[in-house]
Structure 1
Amino acid sequence: MSNQIKIYNANIITPFRLIKGGSILIKDGKIEAVNAGNLEVPNAKEINANGAYVSPGFIDIHVHGGGGFDFMDGSVDAFLKIAECHAKYGTTSLTPTTLTSEKEDLLKTLDDFETAHKINKNGAQFIGMHLEGPYFAMSQRGAQDPRFIRNPDPKEYEEVLAYSKSIARWSAAPELKGAIEFGRYLRSKGVLAAIAHTDAIYEEALEAFENGYTLATHFYSSMSGVSRKNAHRFAGVIEAGYLIDEMDVEIIADGVHLPAPLLKLIYKIKGSDKIALITDAMRGAGMPPGDSVLGNINTGLKVIVEDGVAKLPDRSSFAGSVATADRLLRTMIKEADIPLIEAIKMATATPARIMGVDHKIGSLVVGKDADVIIFDDNINIQTTIIKGNIVYQNGEQEIN
């Protein structure tokens, strides 16, 4: 069998332009060529894109679950099933994300990651773990379990980081006692520190940025804005995200967590180079509406999936999204009026750069991993290719 795949008759989205009627050659899991015409490659497996779009696979740097599973279910199979679920919607790389929990449950999740990472062949690839919590402001906990929320403890986080080398990012509230030292420690270990579930004021967020917190987790969600104390107004983390040009932000662009005017505002101020589109998906992604569970299937929080989002039972707060990456793109293009190429950048090149993996993935450039997707005008995924392997097809593509 040939180890080469040629995709032709495609509208190819590169970091620089849209190539109409172009072709891509994949060889040994890498991008071998990107051409404006039809490459002649004898014996290659051929995919006729029929004028559909071809782009890098989506990179989701904040996702909790999907397909009825959660990364904290305590099983390797959950990791594999979630990866397979999101691959069907165009995600080729993702960052499994935890919730606040007992330390023992967290360490078990890290063990499951290590095992799953080695055998994950049919789903989105893992690019490191994201620990979300437990160092949060109680007032901004959202759907995070309050039983486990606490201040940063050096003994604890040093033990966790020593336990696993697969932790790529860690989200925390920077105003907590010990959080600045925590940020510096993360940076010293090459781990991305992110601001999340926080009531910090601008000055605290600025200090945090200077000490390693360079990303704002699910921007706007569980995050302080302008507040008033003793008649004086104080800017919050939202304003810091706008004012600090170098700060990256990630947004849940499902059309529910952030309405179109806010999506437009974030894009207008930050631009596609500083915005990563994330699903923040829980187990309900890719599943029908109804009762569900956030976190571990046995001990997690019962939630309701309705109106395209997960909610707490009393409907007082969102409890994570049920979006898949294709939905994020549709929302940005149709509701926020963002150009296709800019929207693709926010789901590919920018998250790759934020996570430090842009030398391998995130753009259709010769020499990078062949993580490639084919989709129509409505971002319906037709084919997903990961490292040169076709892991999903919807049956409409011609393959010879």
Structure 2
Amino acid sequence: MNYTKIYNGTAITPSGLIKGATVVICGDKIEEVTTSNVSVPGALKIDAKGKFIAPGFIDMHVHGGGGHDFMDNTVDAFLAISREHAKYGTTAMMPTTLSCEKQDLLETIETYEKASPLNQEGAQFVGLHIEGPYFAMNQKGAQDPKYIRNPDPDEYHEILSSTKVIKRWSAAPELPGALQFADALKEKNILAAIAHTDAIYEDVVKAYDAGFRHATHFYSCMSGVSRRNAYRYAGVVESAYLIDGMSVEIIADGVHLPTPLLKLVYKIKGAAHTALITDAMRAAGMGEGKSILGSLQRGMEVVVEDGVAKLPDRSAFAGSVATTDQLVRKMIELAEVSLPDAVKMITETPAQILGLGHLKGSLTKGRDADIVIFDNHIRIDTTIVNGKVVYQNQAPVLSIP
């Protein structure tokens, strides 16, 4: 077996920070996390040089990056996005679609199936996330309205029977037929998530009981308190706070949610029920200017400025250009979250939400050897996926005070 030894770092583990740690990898699994600089004959040795050694970052909602979108429906696009995000510490990702025609979605599924076994140089794919097209029209955000529709049993049963790679599907639970849709997802062990929705509390309780256990890009494109015929109703935001078992995900880029809301989500839901996501579109890792949300052929033109993608009329955000290292950094700087909790929200928590906690999300013996090394400014030094180094930063080493 091939061994790798990472030493002289501070490991971020479920039991706390371990200074002077050594992490031993055997093949594609973590074999040991210890305070001793153990001898591992023949191992590839990586000196962490006093930096942090953490579980690899898991991005459970990402559309693209590096000039590519998953809905370009090419293997090259899938692999390029994987490599791009690995530079920022992402070791596992859930490719995400947008509302589209059924045929486009079937092509994306087919492309995922072709690209996944070829993905050896970047972040691992851990399942496909279907976002849409079953959404509330007035909560469409940057989703193209011509594709938005109510759940269609013939359509979704055909899609679900065509593949086993779908692991998550986001929809509005108040739509006609949405609860039956949730039943179909539950039969396939697919995570049902609430998104682009005008549901009220009573809708959400029924949806939760039917299997909608997660809230997609929390606060974005979802209902809060509303008035109907003079009476106030709690929306999805309040419902997610009230239902202890419901997990949420936030785009912690410092733009989509202001500092007070980042703090509020953390205070109420906590690190164990809050995942950090990039929701990144193709312009992530690129400069500002015009870009395309969705496929190059049928996507929507957007503009990237002020650290976010916007619709051309500036009426709504159109996905983020964030990377996972930025999410951790912003939660520490803006929300005043501790480093261990910020890391937990991008590692252990998404792993648990996705049912991957037995494989990923922590520096624990037997877990997948997905590891990232970074400095005290969350600047990525090394990214390791399944025991293989896929990225190393050649920038000068910075000492930690």
TM-score bucket of the superposed structures, by smaller chain: over 0.9
Q: More deviation in 169-178 or 41-50?
A: 41-50
Question: Which aligned pairs between 1:75-114 and structure 2 lie closer than 5 A?
Answer: 75-114=74-113
Pairwise CA distance, 1:230: 1.1
Q: CA RMSD in A?
A: 1.0
Structure 1 residues 236-264: Cα deviation after superposition (integer angstroms, max 9, x where no partner): 00000100000000000000000110000
Question: Which aligned pairs between 1:1-400 and structure 2 lie closer than 5 A?
Answer: 3-395=2-394
* Secondary structure of 1:347's aligned partner: coil
Counterpart amino acid of residue 142 in structure 1: G
Unaligned runs of 5+ in 2: none
- Using the size of structure 2 for normalisation, the TM-score is 0.98
Pairwise CA distance, 1:107: 0.3
Counterpart amino acid of residue 322 in structure 1: V
- Using the size of structure 1 for normalisation, the TM-score is 0.98
* Secondary structure of 1:240's aligned partner: helix
Counterpart amino acid of residue 243 in structure 1: L
- What is the CA–CA distance in structure 2 between the aligned matches of 1:396 and 1:319, rounded to whole Å? 32
- What is the CA–CA distance in structure 2 between the aligned matches of 1:42 and 1:76, rounded to whole Å? 39
- What is the CA–CA distance in structure 1 between the aligned matches of 2:237 and 2:183, rounded to whole Å? 22
Pairwise CA distance, 1:397: 8.6
Check conservation: 1:170, 1:192, Cα contact below 8 A: yes
Identity of aligned residues (%): 61
* Secondary structure of 2:330's aligned partner: helix
Counterpart amino acid of residue 9 in structure 1: N
- What is the CA–CA distance in structure 2 between the aligned matches of 1:397 and 1:370, rounded to whole Å? 25
Counterpart amino acid of residue 202 in structure 1: Y
- What is the CA–CA distance in structure 1 between the aligned matches of 2:3 and 2:210, rounded to whole Å? 46
- What is the CA–CA distance in structure 1 between the aligned matches of 2:304 and 2:11, rounded to whole Å? 36
Check conservation: 1:226, 1:236, Cα contact below 8 A: yes
Pairwise CA distance, 1:396: 5.1
Structure 1 residues 281-305: Cα deviation after superposition (integer angstroms, max 9, x where no partner): 0001000111000000121000000
* Secondary structure of 1:318's aligned partner: coil
- What is the CA–CA distance in structure 1 between the aligned matches of 2:395 and 2:31, rounded to whole Å? 25
Q: More deviation in 42-51 or 118-127?
A: 42-51
- What is the CA–CA distance in structure 2 between the aligned matches of 1:189 and 1:27, rounded to whole Å? 33
Unaligned runs of 5+ in 1: none
Pairwise CA distance, 1:37: 2.0
Counterpart amino acid of residue 387 in structure 2: G
Counterpart amino acid of residue 191 in structure 2: L
Pairwise CA distance, 1:39: 1.2
Counterpart amino acid of residue 153 in structure 1: D
Check conservation: 1:47, 1:397, Cα contact below 8 A: no
- What is the CA–CA distance in structure 2 between the aligned matches of 1:229 and 1:32, rounded to whole Å? 58
Check conservation: 1:5, 1:26, Cα contact below 8 A: yes
Pairwise CA distance, 1:117: 0.3
- What is the CA–CA distance in structure 2 between the aligned matches of 1:377 and 1:254, rounded to whole Å? 18
Structure 1 residues 300-347: Cα deviation after superposition (integer angstroms, max 9, x where no partner): 000000000000000010000000000000100001100000010000
- What is the CA–CA distance in structure 2 between the aligned matches of 1:371 and 1:45, rounded to whole Å? 16
Structure 1 residues 171-218: Cα deviation after superposition (integer angstroms, max 9, x where no partner): 000000000111111111100000000000011011100100000000
Counterpart amino acid of residue 325 in structure 1: T
- What is the CA–CA distance in structure 1 between the aligned matches of 2:174 and 2:126, rounded to whole Å? 28
Residues paired across the two proteins, number:
397
- What is the CA–CA distance in structure 1 between the aligned matches of 2:10 and 2:38, rounded to whole Å? 14
* Secondary structure of 2:179's aligned partner: helix
- What is the CA–CA distance in structure 1 between the aligned matches of 2:146 and 2:165, rounded to whole Å? 26
- What is the CA–CA distance in structure 1 between the aligned matches of 2:388 and 2:396, rounded to whole Å? 15
* Secondary structure of 1:223's aligned partner: coil
Pairwise CA distance, 1:32: 1.0
Check conservation: 1:48, 1:397, Cα contact below 8 A: no
